[in-house]
Structure 1
Amino acid sequence: MEQLERKPIVEQCNGCGNIEEDKCRIWTTPAAKWRMGKCPSATHVKIEVKGTEQKIRVGQQKQKKK
């Protein structure tokens, strides 16, 4: 199997636990993972999970008769 050349890390990678000798051990091109936002494998970035808000029913509403 052919080994791909690993590109150097980018500034956003600093502080990640997946860095070995200024290269990412998971991705061959780390810059591509930061283009669209946060790297999915970054150990130093907390990903915010947005939950859906549930509507709380307080009581029943009476429907108007036509």
Structure 2
Amino acid sequence: AIAPGRIETPMVLAVDAAINDEQVRLTPLGRLGKPDEVADLALYLTSDESSFVTGQTIDVAGGLYMT
């Protein structure tokens, strides 16, 4: 499964900028994710290169984890 963090989409960009700024501040990589970064993982998971990957939840969240 893919577990995206805050990704720079029209819906995310439509919220109050202060909310996104706070998320960026809390994210270790210091930015919002890009849709292509999530898509790249989806392509990998559907490719033969991931044939030995099973039962994983992969975070695409710039190092930010929710507990």
- Provide the TM-score with structure 2 as the length reference: 0.26
Q: Which has the higher helix share?
A: 2
Higher RCO (CA < 8 A, seq sep 6+): 2
Bigger radius of gyration: 1
